[in-house]
Amino acid sequence: MENNLKVFRAKRNLSGNDVAKILGITAQSYYNLEKGSTDVKVKHIRMIAKEYGLSLEEVAETFNI
């Protein structure tokens, strides 16, 4: 199931490449997170929460954790 990362990213007017750089991963890896085709790492959950101004719980729900 696709998660809400794309929506969060769009609201901040960021490209997937922008967020990938922030997370220290490739753009393809980030897009795989958006599609839900790869598991997210705990360190990335924290970084995503900070970048999008979300709580850790909101990000965890996005990944169905």
pLDDT of the chain along its 65 residues, tens only? Answer: 346 888 888 889 999 999 999 999 999 999 998 888 888 888 999 999 998 888 998 888 888 78
Q: What is the pLDDT of residue 4?
A: 83
| Distance from chain centroid for Cα 63 | 9
Does the pTM of the predicted model rise above 0.85? no
SS3 letters across the chain: CCCCHHHHHHHCCCCHHHHHHHHCCCHHHHHHHHHCCCCCCHHHHHHHHHHHCCCHHHHHHHCCC
Q: What is the pLDDT of residue 35?
A: 87
CATH 1.10.260.40 fits domain 5-62? yes
Q: Distance between CA atoms of 10 and 41, rounded to whole angstroms?
A: 22
Q: What is the pLDDT of residue 58?
A: 87
Q: What is the pLDDT of residue 40?
A: 87
Every domain of the chain and the residues it spans = 5-62
